[in-house]
Amino acid sequence: MDCVLVKKADIVTEHLDCGEGNDFKIVDVIDKSHGAPYTVGVVEMELCEGVEFDYDDDAGCCYMLEGVITLKENLSGAVMKYEVGDVVYIPQKQGLVVTFSTEAYAKFVFVTYPHWR
């Protein structure tokens, strides 16, 4: 069989150390270990003051499932509220750093191309 099904019970996020003041959990659900040319994963955040990711080597697309996240771009200074049902595209761009923050619980699905790690 070529298709891969990952059941909800098997999607368990793990803490990623993003510094003090950041409760950030992530899991790669589909990635190169499955033969995929991209990574699909889930992020859960709670009371995050600011988690930075650079987009020098990959592009991302995210779909918000729960909560609200504030996204801030370093290059343009743009600040966006990312809410349930919203989709955000983050291009691969040299020097681009996006900061994710939230004052409460938030959960989203992400896809990166190629793989983010």
pLDDT tens digits, one per residue of 51-85: 999 999 999 999 999 999 999 999 999 999 999 99
Q: pTM here?
A: 0.92
116 backbone dihedrals φ, ψ, rounded to 5°: -80, -20
Residue 50: the pLDDT is 93
- Measured distance CA(55)–CA(87) in Å, rounded: 17
Residue 117: the pLDDT is 74
pLDDT tens per residue across span 89-99: 999 999 999 99
Return the number of other C-beta atoms located less than 10 Å from residue 105's C-beta: 13
- Please report the sign of the dihedral spanned by the C-alpha atoms of residue 82, residue 67, residue 41, residue 95: positive
Taking alpha carbons only, the member of 46, 64, 65, 56 closest to residue 92 is 56
| Band of pLDDT at residue 109, cut at 50, 70 and 90 | very high
